[in-house]
Chains A and B, each alone.
Chain A
């Protein structure tokens, strides 16, 4: 067993040391840029991966039984064995998140934090609107099948996200920014976990 030091004491000591040291401007700027990149990368990867999985958008498909790689989604013939899409989802969403992370280091922090609020609220509202549309379609006395279109459901989600991101104060956008790092993976796992319910209800 290993005894661990008090985290708070340790971090405050390190923070005090960092403050006391005559850190160069470029080092501090690089750390800040990496922080921006890392947080944006984390949030973006979670959202993009959930989208890629749900819409089944792999960059490539692997057929393990015949050891063959295909570009984009290629389910192949039944005799080729089961296709594997996970690698393609991870690589596509990873590349997208990497590019977004780099772009994020080139915009102002205030703008980035507000844009993050917009994207995260949109990512949350869109599936909620889609689920609500399904309930309305089931219960409505009129033909509401058009509500099942993912693009129709995107309109209220976009309006909601625009409203929230324009109304939220800069202080709240800053406070929420790192919080999205936890909110989005939990939300993503909830969506992805629900999509697997057929395995658990058979």
Chain B
């Protein structure tokens, strides 16, 4: 780490990490949203001419990618959380941004609940059966909620003190 900090300043290092966290979040958001849409509103007819030009991708194939991205994001978030706790949250409390602090605290819990469901989510998509069709759909929806909530709250916290703020 000392060699790295010889090349980069400490704030730049954390900003790069935060940007990677953001880029991974966008990828996760896109995949989980597409899969949730496919699970909740399956296309029953052939799509129109514009969409026809794109290769169809089965919702099943997203599951492993989503699990990998979710775990990576949780680990990245856990790392950046160290900086948030000392560098962001303390001034946030000083400025009395209680809603932002509370929403970010809730994000910890939301992400943990999402992590808890990941093995079952992965299993339901790898072993698709009619018996689990409903729970598969709603677990996917719940995961999408955790990703969207974390993205929005993380973005608000970043606006307070982060990349480009």
* Residue positions of A touching B, CB distance < 8 A: 1-12, 14-15, 18, 31, 34-35, 37-39, 41-42, 45-46, 49, 53, 62, 64-65, 81-82, 84, 86-87, 89-90, 93, 97, 178-179, 181-182, 185, 188-189, 192-193, 196, 198-200, 202
* Contact present for B59 and A10 (CB under 8 Å): yes
Find A41's partner among B82, B85, B119 (CB 8 Å cutoff): B119
**A and B contact pairs by CB, cutoff 8 A, 15 listed:** A1-B54, A3-B52, A3-B54, A4-B34, A4-B57, A5-B56, A6-B42, A7-B39, A18-B127, A31-B127, A38-B123, A41-B116, A82-B89, A90-B115, A199-B103
In the bound assembly, the distance between CA atoms of A3 and B116 in angstroms comes to: 29
* Contact present for A188 and B86 (CB under 8 Å): no
- Pick the 4 closest A-B CB pairs, nearest first: A199-B102, A4-B38, A11-B128, A45-B116
Which residue of chain A is the closest to B138 with respect to CB atoms? A182
Given A5-B57, A7-B38, 14 further pairs, Cβ under 8 A: A4-B34, A4-B43, A7-B59, A10-B59, A10-B60, A35-B123, A38-B119, A38-B120, A38-B122, A49-B116, A178-B120, A182-B138, A193-B109, A199-B102
Residues of B within 8 A of A3 (CB): 43, 47, 51-52, 54-57
Number of A-B contacts (CB under 8 A): 151
Q: Is the interface of B mostly helix, strand, loop or mixed?
A: helix
Mark the stretch among B15-23, B129-137, B150-158 that contacts chain A: B129-137
| Given A46-B113, A182-B138, also A202-B59 (CB < 8 A) | no
> B37 an interface residue at 8 Å Cβ cutoff?
yes
* Contact present for B120 and A39 (CB under 8 Å): yes
| Given A7-B39, A41-B116, A189-B109, also A84-B85 (CB < 8 A) | yes
* Contact present for B82 and A64 (CB under 8 Å): yes
| Given A3-B43, A41-B120, also A199-B51 (CB < 8 A) | no
Which residue of chain A is the closest to B122 with respect to CB atoms? A38
* Contact present for B116 and A42 (CB under 8 Å): yes
CB distance from A84 to the nearest CB of B (A): 6
Residues of B within 8 A of A5 (CB): 38, 42-43, 56-59
> B159 an interface residue at 8 Å Cβ cutoff?
no
In the bound assembly, the distance between CA atoms of A6 and B112 in angstroms comes to: 30
